[in-house]
Chains A and B, each alone.
Chain A
Amino acid sequence: MSDVSKLREKLKEWEKEVVEPILKKLPERKAKFLTEEGIEVRRLYTPADLAERDWNYLERLGFPGSYPFTRGPYPTMYRGRPWTIRQYAGYGSAEDTNTRYRYLLSIGQTGLSMAFDLPTQLGLDPDHKLAWYEVGKVGVSMPSVVEMDIVFKDIPMGKISTSMTINATAIEVLSMYVAVAESRGVDKSALTGTVQNDILKEYIARNNYIYPPEPSMRYATDLIIYAAKNMPRWNSISISGYHFEEAGATPAMEIAFTLADAIEYVKWVLERGKIPVDKFAPRLSFFFAARTNLFEQIAKFRAARRMWAKIMKERFGVKNPRSMMLRFHTQTAGVLLTAQQPLVNLIRTTIQALAAVLGGTQSLHVNSYDEALSLPTEESVKLSIRVQQVLLYESGVADTVDPLAGSYYIEWLTDEIEERAWKIIDEVDKLGGMIRAIELGYPQREIARSAYEWQVKVEKGEVPVIGVNLFAEEEVPSIKVLKVDPEVRQRVIERLRKFRAERDQTKLESRLNALRRVAENEEGNIFDPILEAVKAKATLGEISGVLREVWGEWRAPEVF
Chain B
Amino acid sequence: MIQSQVVEASKKIQSKKLRAIVAKLGLDGHDRGAKVVARALRDAGIEVIYLGVHQAPEDVVEAALEEDADVIGVSILSGSHIELVSDLLKLMKEKNLSIPVVVGGIIPPDDVEELKKMGVYEVLGPGTPLRRIVEIYKKAAEECGRK
Binding site for B on A (CB under 8 A): 118-119, 121-122, 124, 129-134, 137-138, 202, 206-208, 246-248, 335, 337-340, 371-375, 448, 451-452, 455-456, 459, 465, 468, 476-478, 481, 483-484, 556, 558, 560
Stretch binding the partner chain, chosen from B11-19, B50-58, B60-68, B137-145: B50-58
Q: Which residues of A contact B84 (CB under 8 A)?
A: 133
Q: Known interface pairs A335-B32, A459-B129. Does A556 touch B26 (Cβ–Cβ under 8 Å)?
A: no
A348, chain B: closest CB distance, angstroms? 13
B44, chain A: closest CB distance, angstroms? 13
The 8 A CB mask of B119-133 against A (1 = contact, 0 = none) is 000000111011100
Q: Determine which residue in B39, B50, B53, B127 has the highest number of CB atoms from chain A within 10 A of its CB, and name it.
A: B127
> Are A133 and B83 interface neighbours, CB within 8 A?
yes
> Are A138 and B79 interface neighbours, CB within 8 A?
yes
A66, chain B: closest CB distance, angstroms? 39
11 more CB-based (< 8 A) A-B contacts, given A130-B26, A134-B28, A247-B31: A134-B26, A134-B27, A134-B80, A207-B29, A372-B125, A451-B35, A459-B130, A459-B131, A465-B127, A484-B79, A560-B35
Of the A-B pairs whose beta carbons lie under 8 Å apart in the complex, a sample of 6, sorted by A's number, is A122-B27, A134-B26, A138-B28, A206-B30, A338-B127, A481-B108
CA A475 to CA B32, docked complex, whole Å: 26
> Are B127 and A451 interface neighbours, CB within 8 A?
no
- The chain A residue sitting closest to B80, CB to CB, is A133
> Are B79 and A372 interface neighbours, CB within 8 A?
no
Q: Which residues of B contact A130 (CB under 8 A)?
A: 26-27, 54, 56
> Are B108 and A556 interface neighbours, CB within 8 A?
no
Q: Known interface pairs A373-B106, A452-B36. Does A118 touch B127 (Cβ–Cβ under 8 Å)?
A: no
Main secondary structure of the interface of A (DSSP, over half): loop
B115, chain A: closest CB distance, angstroms? 14
CA A124 to CA B27, docked complex, whole Å: 11
- From B38, B78, B108, contact of A134 by CB (8 A): B78
> Are B109 and A373 interface neighbours, CB within 8 A?
yes
> Are A477 and B109 interface neighbours, CB within 8 A?
yes
CA A133 to CA B76, docked complex, whole Å: 11
Q: Which residues of A contact B56 (CB under 8 A)?
A: 129-130
> Are A137 and B79 interface neighbours, CB within 8 A?
yes
B79, chain A: closest CB distance, angstroms? 4
> Are B32 and A451 interface neighbours, CB within 8 A?
yes
> Are A452 and B27 interface neighbours, CB within 8 A?
no
> Are B36 and A138 interface neighbours, CB within 8 A?
no
CA A132 to CA B54, docked complex, whole Å: 13
Q: Which residues of B contact A452 (CB under 8 A)?
A: 35-36, 39-40
Q: Known interface pairs A556-B52, A560-B39. Does A476 touch B80 (Cβ–Cβ under 8 Å)?
A: no
> Are A455 and B31 interface neighbours, CB within 8 A?
no
- From A131, A340, A558, contact of B127 by CB (8 A): A340
CA A557 to CA B98, docked complex, whole Å: 29
Q: Which residues of B contact A372 (CB under 8 A)?
A: 106, 125-127
Q: Known interface pairs A133-B80, A374-B108, A560-B39. Does A206 touch B126 (Cβ–Cβ under 8 Å)?
A: no
